Structure 1
């Protein structure tokens, strides 16, 4: 989508709801999604690059890493969510305490983050539109005042400049 904004978000549920999100420059693919889930949602030190080591460990030297509290990541059917490169890491994610749950196709009403993100986006757009409208109105009013002013524009300068004329 030209001119669109790419963002990944997670609705963190616990003592209170909190929307965790990250602006993504460029395309969101399976690798970007996996990095977001590993580093931002799971809190895995080293992010997706450390997933294999964290999930399998290396004997006593590097035991399996697990989140302090397990979490479930609810996914809709966006391309990156159903990509084999992401879904193929399901077992490793489960080992570190991250379960994946896919919503049924075409069911945005079941996706709470869609509602929250849409509400925040509408609020931001309305605020931006109001700011834009107010700024445009002020500029138009200033131009109108300048055009209809009986005093020539040159005389609006400081008295020293007017005296030199």
Structure 2
């Protein structure tokens, strides 16, 4: 069965299949959404806010709850797009402002430049470089260390 969801602030409305997750819907619109953990609910890179229709989504698993607990930008309306299945109509998804950092190599070329949009930490969702501020080498080094820790964690939890 087909359900309708809305994406804010890009003012897109789209039809999705019942039981598909929000991440699939976002990717079908060719939005640049990261999925560092491969859609297993273990990272924060597909974090979204539900403006309306929380009751039209699947319940939250314990894994999703634990992941959202570490996101500094999480609210009571937060969900992981990979985990939230669409069960009914009327879901309005708000995409977080900013860009999650996942490719340190790409960002290294930006050292000394001003961020064109907020750069978000891939795990916590915290703004690490505000829009208009300089991107520094120390921030990149900190993120590179975090990336290695996350890679180790994900490698240990494969199949979990």
TM-score by length of 1: 0.29
Higher strand share: 2
If asked which structure has higher relative contact order (CA below 8 Å, sep 6+), I would say 2
Please, what TM-score do these two structures have when normalized by structure 2?
Answer: 0.30
Max radius of gyration: which structure? Answer: 1
Structure with greater proportional helix content: 1
